C-alpha cells in the first residue's frame, strides 16, 4: 500500500494531495500542469515537499515531522520516463542485464526472455540507445524496469511513442505485474487507463475526483466530460481516415 499526504509549493504552483492505494494500478489523470508528474517525482525522491509523509508498505520514504527523506536510490522505485532513459554506453542487452541485477534476489514477474518477447525487442539487443527510435527506447526502458522488479512502478507517459495496440498490450501486462506491488501511471491516451484499479483526477495540485472508469463516467464530472471530448476526437479522426482511404 502507498500512502501519500503531501504539501509542496514550487513558485506559484501549490500541491496539496492526500490519497492511499491498496496495490494494483493507479492512474493519474488531469490537464497539463495539474501536478501529476510532481506527485510521481515526490514519491521517487526526485523532488522534496515542504511537509507531509509518504510510505510504501509501512516503509517510510519521507516524513517531514520525523526528519526522514530517503534518497532516490534507496526508495526502490522503478521509474520509466516518457523519453525512455537508458545507459547510452551499454547495448540494449546490457541495459536489460543491468535492470535484472538490481532485482536483488526478488523473483521477477517476467523472465529475461519473456520481457524481450513481450516488448518485441529481440532484434534490438546488440544496438546502443543512440541507434533506437523513441518508441524503441520506451520499450527497452519498460522491459528493464520490469526485470528490476521494484516494489513501486512509475510510468510517466512511458508508452506515449507506441501505437495504440502495443500500448494496450503493455498496460495489460503492467496490470498483471502490479497485483502484488504499487504501480502509478500517467498516460496521454484515456483509453489506456480505463482498466486501472483506480483513477485519480487532478486539477491545480489537488485530487478532485477518484474512482474506477465506470464510476467516474457515472459521476459526470471533469473526467466524464474529457472522455466524451476524446471520443468525439477519435471518431473524427476515424472518419477522416476512412475518407482518405476512399479517395
SS3 per-residue string spanning 166-206: HHHHHHHHHHHHCCCCEEEEECCCHHHCCCCCEEEEEECCE
Confidence of residue 105 (pLDDT cuts 50, 70, 90): low
The answer to whether 26 touches 183, Cβ cutoff 8 Å, is yes
Return the top range by mean pLDDT from 2-16, 69-83, 102-116: 2-16
* pLDDT confidence band for 85 (50 / 70 / 90): confident
pLDDT value of residue 209: 96
The pLDDT-based confidence of 145 (bands split at 50, 70, 90) is confident
Note the pLDDT of residue 53. 97
Q: Which residues pair with 181 in a beta bridge?
A: none
Of 8 and 134, the structure prediction assigns the larger pLDDT to 8
User: Which comes out higher in pLDDT, residue 15 or 146?
Assistant: 15
Q: Tell me the HSE value of 38 on the side-chain side, using a 13 A CA sphere.
A: 24
Per-residue pLDDT reduced to its tens digit, 31-54: 889 999 999 999 999 999 999 999
Contacts of 48 (CB under 8 A, 6+ apart): 8, 42, 62, 69
What is the spatial distance between Cα 64 and Cα 73, in angstroms, rounded to a whole number?
19
User: Is-contact 154 2, C-beta < 8 A?
Assistant: no
Strands 24-30 and 198-203: parallel
- The closest of 190, 210, 208, 189 to 200, measured between CA atoms, is 210
Nearest CA to 43 out of 210, 195, 183, 160 is that of: 183
Question: pTM, whole model, 2 decimals?
Answer: 0.82
| Superfamily name and number for 2-219 | P-loop containing nucleotide triphosphate hydrolases (3.40.50.300)
Highest mean pLDDT among 93-107, 134-148, 164-178: 134-148
Amino acid at each position: 500500500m502507498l500512502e501519500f499526504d503531501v504539501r509542496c509549493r514550487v513558485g506559484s504552483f501549490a500541491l496539496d494531495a492526500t490519497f492511499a492505494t491498496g496495490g494494483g494500478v493507479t492512474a493519474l489523470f488531469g490537464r497539463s500542469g495539474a501536478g501529476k508528474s510532481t506527485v510521481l517525482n515526490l514519491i521517487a525522491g526526485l523532488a522534496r515537499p515542504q511537509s507531509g509523509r509518504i510510505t510504501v508498505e509501512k516503509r517510510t520514504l519521507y516524513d517531514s515531522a520525523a526528519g526522514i527523506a530517503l534518497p532516490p536510490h534507496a526508495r526502490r522505485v522503478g521509474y520509466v520516463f516518457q523519453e525512455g532513459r537508458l545507459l547510452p554506453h551499454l547495448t540494449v542487452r546490457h541495459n536489460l542485464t543491468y535492470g535484472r541485477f538490481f532485482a536483488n534476489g526478488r523473483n521477477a514477474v517476467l523472465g529475461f526472455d519473456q520481457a524481450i518477447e513481450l516488448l518485441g525487442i529481440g532484434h534490438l539487443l546488440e544496438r546502443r540507445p543512440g541507434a533506437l527510435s523513441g518508441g524503441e527506447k520506451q520499450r527497452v526502458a519498460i522491459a528493464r524496469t520490469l526485470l528490476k522488479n521494484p516494489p513501486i512502478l512509475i510510468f510517466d507517459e512511458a508508452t506515449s511513442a507506441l501505437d495504440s495496440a502495443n500500448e494496450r498490450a503493455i498496460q495489460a501486462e503492467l496490470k498483471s505485474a502490479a497485483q502484488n506491488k504499487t504501480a502509478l501511471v500517467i498516460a496521454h491516451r484515456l483509453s489506456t487507463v480505463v482498466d486501472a484499479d483506480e483513477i485519480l483526477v487532478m486539477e491545480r495540485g489537488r485530487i478532485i475526483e477518484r474512482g474506477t472508469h465506470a464510476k467516474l463516467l457515472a459521476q459526470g464530472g471533469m473526467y466524464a466530460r474529457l472522455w466524451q471530448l476524446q471520443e468525439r476526437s477519435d471518431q473524427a479522426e476515424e472518419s477522416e481516415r476512412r475518407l482518405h482511404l476512399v479517395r
